[in-house]
Structure 1
Amino acid sequence: NPAVHYCRVDFLKKQLNIRFDHKQLSLQQLVGLLYDIGYEPLISLQDLIKKQNLPQKDNLVLKIAVAGFCFGNVMLLSFPEYFGIPLHDVAFKHFFGWLNIAFSIPAVFYSGRGYFVSAWQNLRNKVLNIDFPLALGIAVLFGRTIVEVITRTGAGFADTLCGLVFFLLVGKFVQKKTYHHISFERDYRSFFPVAVHVVQDAIEKPIPLSQLHTGHRMVIRHNEIIPADAILLKGEAMIDFSFVTGEAVPVNKTLGEIIYAGGRQTAEAIELEVIKPVSQSYLTQLWNNEAFTRSQDNRMKTFSERVSKYFTIVLLLVAFGSLAFWLPTDLGRGIAAFTAVLIVACPCALALSTPFTMSAALSIFDRNLFYLKNTGVVEQLAAIDTIVMDKTGTITNGDNNNVVAVGNMSSYHKQLIYSACSNSIHPLSRMVCNHIGNAVSKLPVSKYSEIPGKGILTEVDGHRLRIGSAKLVLSGEAEESTDLTKVFVLIDDLYLGYFAIAHHYRDGLDKVSRLDETYKMFLLSGDQDHERFELVRFFKHAGSMLFNQSPQNKLDFIKGLQLYGGSVMMVGDGLNDSGALKQSDLGIAVTDDVNNFSPGSDAILDGRSFEKLPAFLRFAKDTVTIIHISFLISLTYNLIGLSYAVTGNLSPLIAAILMPLSTVTIISFTSLATHFAAKNKKLL
């Protein structure tokens, strides 16, 4: 429908997020459209997230019970046919045939009704889904049974029919239970590794988002996202709602006004009181917003998309081809081949192999504090061949750093500097604040602005401050060479000195650096090349380190790598790297204890798991291999079944058993293989 601009399905939660033009399409018409294609929406003003994680009651168990009851009775009534009926008891044969039809009716029209509804609604919209061949198989078996019993030419296929419906529903039940478990685990056991700073007893401290409650007074700094609906208590709020609405112009908010979750503060630090608990699912929805999704040209198609696209079409061609082949010589055999093909070549196993493997993989990654946007990211992770890393906040650790103040800075100057830097979430600003000490009282800040990659421009207590790189503060004057990173300070056009920072590299950087044996590795830093000598042991190849890079330089460098056929993964801190993260084929934002949640990234990596990056890459490759093997298992089942089915010699009952057996095999294999691969990589 042209009025629907965007829709995204969360396969595990069975949720659909839609954006549509209400002037062209009313909500009632949208509901009608969804109903027509077989997905009647549940509309409520309540928060349905927790309710929807409970198994929905759709009478599936009752349908299985009815199908099982009919299947058992039909099998019992078919035993005389299996063992042969004496001529003088032939009347019982016809009577049993009619009873079998009676038992088939509830199995088809009650238990199997969902397949017909789904197939019909999709056909009306000119779509072939996987329910179509199943509905066709059930209909053909039922029709053939009635014809054989009425014409007394055979006993029909009531046993096969009821068995097929029963096994299909059991497979659906197992699938649903497994999906519910995976969805529950992802929702409740994994949280974004982001925190929010709250003020308690005049002391500011970080707490996990999961512990943020109504009444908390939270501090949101420049460039941070507001995680929950809150009232503005202090500071100048200039909120960028482009993540939510697409509108890029920041909106000014006054004191006492409600600011809704999802906006990003673009000015100084503000204080807000939480009036509604944080919604993890809302942040996930923000993360999945189409504004931060790869363009179709830049997005890799998943294996499942490439393979299963023509499955139903090929299946129907084989089925009708078998019918056409036998039709001139043996009509009965042609119909038997046609029905057997439709039953045995079930796309269920093929359709399940990717979601189950990927969902199990996401669960493993979550457990290791590596949060992927969706299942497609796993295949992108396995396909990359080039790794580009930022330096500050990515390979360096902001917690344990030696900071030394050099120059003529009084305690009042430091108070001014602290008041300015406390508005920023940049790692260097946080280090300067920690060095000065959190006990310092803040002074009023105005006209606050932050230039990516350069520093801070602001007014504090009536004084003009420039804090940041030599380019910003020293007006382009050259600084003396040293192995330290420097944050320069200018107050009221008077140069006061700098903070010298000796970086400590993250634990496990030596492990990560060994990836250069299998991947092309580059370091892009906005700093001067002070630490080149120190970093040579990690980035050994000539030309692999580039310094003094602006955010635009980083983006252009990644574009250049892609032009030469590279599949690039960018690992950054999500602050000055947002453009590079989005441009890359796969963007990973590394985060520690601050709320630098970056919607432009495909994955968020907790700093504590940085050393596990090589294991994550190897596990992603193993996951894709498991999908390929599970696809081969599914294909083997289908080929074995089809080789008999096209000849017309395959018993439809055996075909009906093969289908759920292949489904159970796929689910078991993917779960066990993924678990084993994770254990092998020491991720469990």
Structure 2
Amino acid sequence: MEKKACYHCGDNCTDTTIVLEDKTFCCNGCKTVFEILSESDLTCYYDLQASPGAIPKEIEGKYDFLSQQKIIDKLVEFDDGNTQIVTLYIPHIHCSSCIWILENLNKLNPAITLSQVNFGKKTVRVSYNSQSFSLKALVIMLSSVGYEPYISLEDYKTGQENVNRSLIYKLGVAGFAFGNVMFLSFPEYFEVNEFWLDQYKHLFRWIMFSFSLPVVFYAAQDYFVSAYKAIKTKILNIDIPIALGIIVLFLRSTAEIIFDLGSGFFDSLTGLVFFLLLGKFFQQKTYSFLSFERDYKSYFPIAVTKIFNNEEVPVQVYDIEKGDRLLIRNQELIPVDGILINGRAKIDYSFVTGESETVTKQSGDKLFAGGKQTSGVIEMEAIKSVEQSYLTQLWSNDVFSKNKEDGFTTLTNAISKRFTIAVLTIAFVATAFWLYTDASKALNVFTAVLIIACPCAIALAAPFTFGNLLRIFGKQKFYLKNASVIEQLAHINTIIFDKTGTITSNKKSDAKYEGLPLSPNEEVLLKNTLRGSNHPLSRSLYDILEENNIISLDYFEEYLGQGIEASHNTQNIKIGSAQFVGHQTETEVLNTSVYISANNTYKGKFTFYNSYRKGLSKLFNKLKKHYDLVILSGDNEGELENLKKLLPVRTKLLFNQKPDDKLEYIKYHQSEGAKVLMVGDGLNDAGALAQSHVGIAISENVNVFSPACDAILDATKFNKLYHYIKASKSGIKIVKWSFILSLFYNVIGLYFAVTGQLAPVIAAILMPLSSISIVVFTTVATNIVGRKLK
């Protein structure tokens, strides 16, 4: 009886054969997968790769344990009662079709809002509505489509750190085949007629053909899949000329041995794939090292307040341990999972879920890392140590970076498309010429051109340059969200600064009180109200005032750009601008002031004497030579004369700017062609940071920033801002020089290839060497830039 292959998984249908729509399936599981995909209009899944699925295992009753709340709590990383987020380790992820189906899970079930695949770690992070869908249902659905997760009950882990060995296996297969084909080709290389008899010649050639099969159909399959997807989406990528070269070599070689025209080019074919994979393996190893360096060291500097022996001590987030008592102020990010002890918790989980609706929590409720407190101060107990890579992942989420990247073309995208078109044109023109003059050389010329001119070096230049710069910046306390920020930063021509908390230092500020004396109860309420706020002036005033008893506020509300209102028992207090507290000023105030009213009665004001950051004047003088500089401040003009003395001439100074005014100012100048960098405190400036091309939030021992910022700069490194921008421009130059270097040896290589003087196997050896030279060049060059930063 003829054995048929399963349409879904590719296995032979032996005992059981199920037919549906003229397609054969080996089991009900594979048939179910096809039905699900067909109902959801996702059958193009099979176009990406023949028989892409894995055989689903018997799963009935296997995952009943996922109905237990205790186990669900251990597995999910977020659960607010409506939305659950879980990261599952899926060993079967192995190719682009796996990524495609796993990132389209929302089409299989509308309760799934988002699914993101980490191909390197073989994980998928799924966000779903827990009211209409469950973790058990998710796991069963994944298993039914051939992607059963690995879940260990012993330690409640959803995954394990496994190395992706598929590239190693492919490299091994290609290397084994290449060595044997070269060995079998020796008799013909050296024309050993005594040995190369007619009775062995055909055998050896067919053995070489058999060795080439796993190389073409297994080791090189990623290039074919990538090229097919590119053609299907009408995009020219760098894998198209590679795939074309492999196909041409294989078909020509096969035709030669079938029609006894020669031994073919199986040595060149297997050598080409082997050296391609060798270069890819080297790239993967080097880039994973850079990624590890960034994951391990380049955490953004969240400082959180720890309550220790009844004192508030700022600590770095990675020093938090299980059982620590933490103070989370208004607009601060929750750095670890914990239990709410006291306070009025209204948590914004938009960082995690993308939904900005706040969730109210009571004492004893669980709080998840990544949530932002929006209603005063709360105290919580950490139930695990911090996973800062998780916070970095939230901050770097593609959801928050898409808008700024719209319409921005990276160097690699701009050049690689033109490069591929040029290579294909040269290959076809040169082949046509040799077919006319000497047909025997035409195939060698065609494949040599495609191989030697492969734009792999172009593809490597930017990732290695920017990846290394991210690591270097991180060591220098300048934390970028992703590599595209470097390119954006290099193109800016206008820099806008906030004043308070950005160019002024909160630590050195001094304040003088003028007005009616505050009662003891009012002093306690003032101190505790300031305790809950993260505005730079609030933090400065809080540090200046004497210690007072800690009380739980009945009400707290912070109005951006205006002030704070709070109440306790019968006492009510307002702190902020004169207009906010209801006070009419008769004379113009020449200094930054914070006004106070208690129970709707004006009490007085604190006048601040600003201390500007070290090296401010020197920094602005450097920046002014290359950029348009603007100060946008929400304060009055009291500091105008001081700033005129400190800052270069023609620095634009605008005061009394509300958050919306700042945003509109940036939007207007962008419409005039300005590339804007906004530097702010990350709180009142969130809208302006989001609107600008690059938004940098200054961090000074506070746990406040938003997805709007593209970078976080430690306040102690503020005076190095010019050098960071200069280093970003140097990064672009390094990439361009890499392109020039690549073009230089491509021109030389193409000359020998077009003139028929370069064998495909030599081209295959030279290509990864050129890629390695680019990696070495970019790494050395960026390290030199890094030394200059120090």
Q: TM-score, structure 2 length as denominator?
A: 0.78
1:334 aligns with 2:442: yes
Tell me how far apart the structure 2 counterparts of residues 667 and 653 of structure 1 sit (CA, whole Å). 22
One-letter amino acid of the structure 2 residue matched with residue 436 of structure 1: L
Structure-2 separation of matches of 1:8 and 1:171: 27
Residues 487-502 of structure 1 aligned to structure 2 (within 5 Å): 487-502=594-609
Partner AA of 1:225 in structure 2: L
Change (3 A) 1:364 1:49: farther
Match of 1:435?
544
Q: Deviations over 1:447-495 (max 9, x none)?
A: 211111221111134211111122222434345533x322221112332
The correspondence for 2:629, drawn from 517, 521, 530, is: 521
Which residue of the partner structure matches residue 454 of structure 1? Answer: 562
C-alpha contact 1:55 1:180 (8 A) present in aligned 2: no
Matched, 1:420 2:568: no
Q: Distance in 2 between matches of 1:538 and 1:16?
A: 52
- Note the alpha carbon deviations across 1:72-109, whole angstroms, 9 max, x for none: 34334434433444589554665654454454445445
Partner of 1:659: 767
**Do the aligned partners of residues 563 and 163 (structure 1) sit closer, same or farther apart at CA in structure 2, a change above 3 Å counting?**
same
Asked whether 1:581 is paired with 2:689, we answer: yes
Mapping of residues 584-603 of structure 1, within 5 Å: 584-603=692-711
Change in CA separation of 1:630 and 1:29 when aligned onto 2, cut-off 3 Å: farther
For 1:590 and 1:197, the matched residues in 2 are separated by: 18
Say which of 572, 578, 603 aligns to 1:470. 578
Instruction: Give the whole-Å Cα distance in 2 for the aligned partners of 1:69 and 1:534.
Output: 74
3-state SS of paired residue (1:231): strand
* Distance (Å, rounded) in 1 between the aligned partners of 2:512 and 2:119: 52
Partner residue of 2:340 out of 211, 229, 232: 232
> Which residue of structure 2 aligns with residue 623 of structure 1?
731
Distance 1:61 1:589, change over 3 A: same
Matching residue of 2:387: 279
1:257 to 353, 356, 365: 365
Residues 104, 161 of structure 1: 8 Å contact kept: yes
2:254 alignment partner, SS class: helix
> Which residue in 2 is equivalent to 1:267?
375
1:62–1:258 distance in 2 versus 1, CA, 3 Å: closer
Whole-Å separation in 2 of the counterparts to 1:350 and 1:30: 40
Deviates more, 1:115-124 or 1:42-51: 42-51
8 Å contact kept, 1:369–1:609: yes
Aligned partner of residue 617 in structure 2, secondary structure: helix
1:509 to 613, 616, 639: 616
Which stretches in structure 1 are left out of the alignment for 5+ residues? none
Aligned equivalent of 2:278, options 167, 170, 176: 170
Measured at CA, do residues 388 and 126 of structure 1 come closer, stay the same or move farther in structure 2, by a change above 3 Å? closer
2:561 aligned with 1:561: no
Helix, strand or coil at the partner of 1:588: strand
- 490 and 572 in structure 1: CA distance in 2 versus 1, 3 angstrom threshold: same
- SS of structure 2 residue aligned to 1:432: helix
Structure 1 residue 6: Cα displacement: 6.6
Cα 1:576–1:165, aligned 2, differ >3 Å: closer, same or farther? same
* Residue range with higher mean Cα deviation, 251-260 or 128-137: 128-137
Where do 1:52-71 residues align within 5 Å? 52=161, 55-58=163-166, 60-71=167-178
Select between 244-253 and 164-173 the one with higher mean Cα deviation: 244-253
Hey, what's the Cα distance between the residues in 2 that align with 1:21 and 1:138? 46
Paired position in structure 2 for 1:182: 290
1:605 aligns with 713
Q: Does 1:303 align with 2:411?
A: yes
In structure 2, how many angstroms separate the alpha carbons of the residues matched to 1:169 and 1:299? Answer: 33
Which of the numbers 362, 366, 379 marks the counterpart of 2:470? 362
2: CA distance, partners of 1:41 / 1:319? 45
How many angstroms apart in 2 are the aligned matches of 1:10 and 1:568? 32
Change in 2 beyond 3 A, CA 1:536/1:29: farther
Give the equivalent residue in structure 2 for 1:395: 503
Name the SS for the 1:198 alignment partner: strand
Deviation at residue 380 of structure 1 after TM alignment: 0.5
Match of 2:656 among 538, 548, 551: 548
Cα shift at 1:191: 1.2
Give 2:255's match in structure 1, choosing from 147, 152, 171: 147
Q: Which moved more, 1:414-423 or 1:310-319?
A: 310-319
**Structure 2: where are the runs of 5+ without partners?**
1-41, 43-103, 108-112
Write the letter of the residue equivalent to 1:401: S
Helix, strand or coil at the partner of 2:777: helix
Give the alignment of 1:9-408 within 5 angstroms.
Answer: 51-52=160-161, 55-58=163-166, 60-86=167-193, 91=198, 96-116=204-224, 118-119=226-227, 129-289=237-397, 292-293=400-401, 295=403, 299-309=407-417, 311-327=419-435, 330-407=438-515, 408=517
> Does the C-alpha gap of structure 1 residues 9 and 634 become closer, same or farther in structure 2, counting only changes over 3 Å?
farther
Equivalence for 1:682: 789
Distance 1:608 1:486 in 2: 25
Task: Report SS of the residue matched to 2:285.
Answer: helix
Partner SS state of residue 396, structure 1: coil
Q: Tell me what 1:636 maps to.
A: 744
Contact 1:224-1:264 at 8 Å conserved across structures: yes
User: Deviation at 1:251?
Assistant: 2.5
Tell me, yes or no, if the aligned pair for 1:416 and 1:461 is still in contact at 8 Å: no
User: 1:299 touches 1:585 (CA, 8 Å); kept in 2?
Assistant: no
Give the superposition deviation at 1:390. 0.5
In structure 1, distance between residues paired with 2:522 and 2:256: 97
Greater displacement, 248-257 / 170-179: 248-257
Alpha-carbon displacement from aligned partner over 1:624-653 (angstroms, at most 9, x marks no partner): 011111122223333333333344443112
Q: Kindly indicate whether the alpha-carbon contact (under 8 Å) linking 1:220 and 1:270 is maintained by their aligned counterparts in 2.
A: yes
Given that 1:191 and 1:210 are in contact with CA atoms closer than 8 Å, whether structure 2 keeps it comes out as: no
User: Can you list the C-alpha shifts for 1:36-60, whole angstroms capped at 9, x where unaligned?
Assistant: xxxx7967589989955x64333x4
After TM superposition, the score normalised by the length of structure 1 is 0.89
Per the TM alignment, residue 556 of structure 1 is displaced from its structure 2 partner at its CA by 1.2
> Which residue identity lines up with residue 449 of structure 1 in the other structure?
E
Contact in 2 for aligned 1:194/1:597 (Cα 8 Å) = no
SS at match of 2:386: coil
1:295 partner SS: helix
**CA–CA separation in structure 1 for the residues paired with 2:579 and 2:281:** 64
Structure with the bigger RCO (C-alpha within 8 Å, sep 6+) is: 1
Which has the larger displacement, 121-130 or 428-437? 121-130
**Aligned equivalents of 2:232 and 2:524: distance in 1?**
70
CA contact (8 A) 1:539 1:545 kept: no
